[in-house]
Amino acid sequence: MSGNMEAKEILKKHIAQAASLTDEQFDYFFSHFKSLSCKKGEVLIQAGKPVVHEYFVISGCLKAFFVNDDIRTYILQFAMPTWWTSDYAAMYNHTNATITVDCITDAEVLCLFSDDRERLCSELHQIEHFFRWRTNRGYVASQKRLLSFMNNDTKARYEELLSLYPQLYNLVPKHLIAAYLGVSRETLSRLYNHHR
């Protein structure tokens, strides 16, 4: 199966979780995506620049992160296959990005421009339904992560991450997992060694 055909099938299965499209409707939807092969370290969204699209991950792993004035990195999201990522606040509000999205590994992604997304949502009710479903799931996940930060100690957050996304530990360097958990690399090493 060619790369583009494989990407099409992965997206089709993903959409089918929440929306019923005819083959013709899906082909029309898919025609709005641009397929990109990205290298490890490549920046897809740069803080301070306009954001006009979002990405659907086919393979590899991306991260969305924020660097504060003290040059400390905070990771908002790891985006693995079948996950979406962007700076949504910047995209929806037509402002410059406050976060950066780059590739932790080589990655294959599908890029959808926000104008195309809006047009597709107005033309196809099922696509609007899908994006609402996806946004709701993202909101619930963000809320759970925030509550975990407020209620759980580092060990509990680490174990929660390990149980939810065990594949992260093979994909993502430990210092990035530490940044996601809001702890030092040393603290993570102690937890990692204790957990084994």
Count CB neighbours of 181 within 10 A.
20
**What's the DSSP call for residue 25?**
H
- Rounded distance between C-alpha atoms, residue 92 and residue 114, angstroms: 8
The residue-averaged pLDDT of 60-87 equals 91
Estimate to the nearest angstrom the gap between the alpha carbon of 185 and the chain centroid. Answer: 23
Residue tagged 């104008």 (tokens): 115
Tell whether the model's pLDDT for residue 1 goes beyond 70.
no
Tell me how far apart the alpha carbons of residues 63 and 172 are, in angstroms, rounded to a whole number: 9
Residue 61: what pLDDT? 95
Percentage of the chain beyond pLDDT 70 is 96
**pLDDT of 143 over the 60 cut:** yes
Q: Does the structure show a pLDDT above 60 at 22?
A: yes
Pair 80, 11: CB distance under 8 Å = no
pLDDT tens-digit map of 124-137: 999 999 999 988 88
DSSP state of 108: E
Banded model confidence at residue 138, pLDDT cuts 50, 70, 90: confident
CB 85 within 8 A of CB 124: no
At residue 68, does pLDDT exceed 90? Answer: no
* Bigger pLDDT: 33 vs 137: 33
**Selected residue with higher pLDDT from 96 and 158:** 96
For residues 111-127, average pLDDT: 95
> For the sheet containing 100-103, what is the strand order?
43-45, 100-103, 62-67, 73-79
Q: Is the pTM of this model over 0.85?
A: yes
Whether the pLDDT of residue 40 is over 80: the answer is: yes
Q: What gap in Å lies between CA 109 and CA 80, rounded to an integer?
A: 10
Q: Are 75 and 180 in contact (CB under 8 A)?
A: yes
Q: What is the mean pLDDT of residues 40-61?
A: 97
How large is the average pLDDT for residues 90-114? 96
Mean pLDDT of all residues in 143-147 = 82
Hey, which bits of 68-162 come out as E strands?
73-79, 84-85, 100-103, 107-113
Residues 171, 105: Cα–Cα separation, whole Å: 8
Predicted confidence at residue 195, as pLDDT, reads 57
Tell me phi and psi for residue 134, to 5 degrees: -65, -45
| Higher local confidence (pLDDT), 54 or 183 | 54
- Residue 100: closest CA among 152, 146, 138, 44: 44
Q: At which residue do the structure tokens 């290298």 appear?
A: 39
Give me the chain's average pLDDT, please: 90
